[in-house]
Amino acid sequence: MSNLVDEYDKESALRLRTEIRELKNFSKEVEEDFKEMFRAYELVLNSQELKREIVNHYYHTYKKTWLFGKRTTYRNYGFHMSRHSGAEVYDRLMSGADYKGVSDGDLDFTLELYYKNNGTIAYTYPSVSKVWLNKKFFLYRLKSREGRAKILNTLTHESMHNLGYKHERKRTKLRIHSVPYAVGRLVEKVALRSTVTVGGKQEVLYY
């Protein structure tokens, strides 16, 4: 009986769920690997560790006074190219809102594998929930824990685009501090932990 109660408590603690709507061009083996990875993904998304990282996020900018040759450092709370605070970004992520603005408490994923011999890892469009993943990067990343954490980084990055967040097209110094890049990186950081705290309990990340 206690096991059933524990499972119920764990389910109720998952504020945000993930739903795989379609996997296109996935082999059966790769499909199973992705589903296993998504079980860990839900724990990461709902963890206290990720909440703390996003809410408290800040980045530095620098301004140099040429007259005196000094450089002043500024600490900026929040994210580049967003007026939302860390808490607002976190709440928007946890709402599960899609590109139409509908909040249903889950992140929907339609994923398609393709191959192209270039530097594009993945892409999506603001008006769709579909994400295209380049086999050149994803198939070998599935083979290690570090690689899977990078996949979760990429999926989160694309999800933040669907939530309306942007970054510069050019590789500027501040681009990595935009919501898609920064939140994706924080998910990767938490996904590399051995355990996370969900609903007040320690959960082991098996994936």
Q: Is there a domain that residue 2 lies in?
A: no
pLDDT value at residue 158: 92
Q: Is there a domain that residue 198 lies in?
A: yes
For 13, 60, 100, the CA distances from 96, given in Å and listed in that order, are 15, 29, 11
Which of 121, 92, 95, 115 shows the shortest CA–CA distance to 25? 115
Domain with 80 in it:
17-204
- The verdict on pTM exceeding 0.75 is yes
Q: What is the mean pLDDT of the chain?
A: 88
CATH number at residue 21: 3.40.390
pLDDT value at residue 5: 36
Q: Which two tokens stand for residue 75?
A: 């600490």
Q: Is there a domain that residue 51 lies in?
A: yes
Q: Is there a domain that residue 8 lies in?
A: no
Q: Is there a domain that residue 55 lies in?
A: yes
Residues in CB range of 11: below 8 A, 6 or more apart:
none
Name the domain count of the chain: 1
> Is residue 31 within 8 Å of residue 23, measured between CB atoms?
yes
pLDDT value at residue 126: 77
- Average of per-residue pLDDT across 106-128: 91
171-196 per-position pLDDT tens digit = 898 999 999 999 999 999 999 999 99
Helix (H) / strand (E) element for 156: namely helix 145-162
> Is residue 58 within 8 Å of residue 78, measured between CB atoms?
yes
51-110 per-position pLDDT tens digit = 999 999 999 887 776 666 677 788 898 999 999 999 999 999 999 877 667 788 888 899
Q: Which two tokens stand for residue 24?
A: 């296109």
Q: Is there a domain that residue 6 lies in?
A: no
- Average of per-residue pLDDT across 144-173: 93
